[in-house]
Structure 1
Amino acid sequence: MMRNLWLVIFFAVLLWSVIEPKDLFTWFLEVFPALIALVVLAKTRHSFPLTPLLYQLILLHAIILMVGGHYTYAEVPLFDWFKEWFGATRNNYDKLGHLAQGFVPALVARELVIRKQIIRGRRWQHFFCVCTCLAISAVYELLEWGVAIATGEGAEAFLGTQGYEWDTQSDMFYALIGAVTALLTLSRYHDRQLAQFK
């Protein structure tokens, strides 16, 4: 039942996001990681099922990606409203995306490390998870840079820097905040769900 609901939500948001997106190329670039996640989850559903918490967080992250793909990260309407309300100079939806880019992978890495018994000490597990998230964030920033070089001006919507010279560094910092926050707030709850696999 939950799997069916997960799929309905995923495909409903995916369908909505592809209908008249701001820029189809940007949509594809932003949504592609969610599509990869869908394929990986489908292939590992029986051999390595995840905790319900992870499935929910992965869906939430996919929705964040799809919304960003539909509008572009610099033009998500709700965050335009926040920008006006708080007197900010930029739409910060991309920071939510990078926060999720740390938050969700931290718990995915944690589940893999614990269930596969790769690292035993909790502190080392958390250190590894944070490092994994920072590595993912760095690779993503390098991919953004590569796309910008390859496509020229058309990449501005994908980069979403909005004229902020420290965008790359702040993106990685938000991923770090997301990873640390996930580990500090959800580890105990995650442990209770992981107990079903012992």
Structure 2
Amino acid sequence: MRLILLAGLAVLSTGCSWILGDNQALSYLDVQESAETQVPEGITLNTYDRFPVPEVEGDTGPGEEFITPVPERLTVAREESEPTSLSDFKRTLNPRFVRDGAGTLTLQVDARFALAWSRVADALASTDIRLTDLNRSIGTYFLELPNPEAEADDRSWWGRLWGDRIEPVLGYQLKMIEAGEGVYLTLQQDAETLAEEALTRSVLDQVKQQLEQ
């Protein structure tokens, strides 16, 4: 308890001296430079400069011109293999018909999914194929194509009136799947049914022609 009281008094006394102006921490601001020490004649003091300032040789100015440093251009090996023109770029897509392991007719494009998706979208927009919707997350373009049965319908007026309605257009799905170094496109009636090969070839050929232009 005695130690606690002594410590409190010490703090209090220190605080009071600061409040009353007896603050030695700032006293250096009022110190005057002392005159050189005078020694009797014949006596030499052995003194030295504890903090000497080194001499600077040469011009210490900023110079006539300041050049902002710029990092060197970063190159990668891939730049040498990238196409240098639009025609070279189109050739790198190399769209071509191939068959998958099940014998299904597909259109192969030598590109990563993101690039192929964009290029196929542009290709479809340049054809007469009607694009109704698309879903990039599942790699699907939703199309509407003429119904071959409606075009070949030769029923009479009464037959058409009393018979089943044949839709003039049908919905299809153009699927894009990435595998290996490219993507593969195929045409389906729905998620489980492939379109007829003749129709698949017709649609994929239109896309192929646009990719080659």
What is the TM-score of this pair, normalised by structure 2?
0.19
Which structure is larger by alpha-carbon Rg, 1 or 2?
Answer: 2
What is the TM-score of this pair, normalised by structure 1?
0.20
Q: Which has the higher strand share?
A: 2
Greater length-normalized contact order (CA 8 Å, ≥ 6 residues apart)? 1
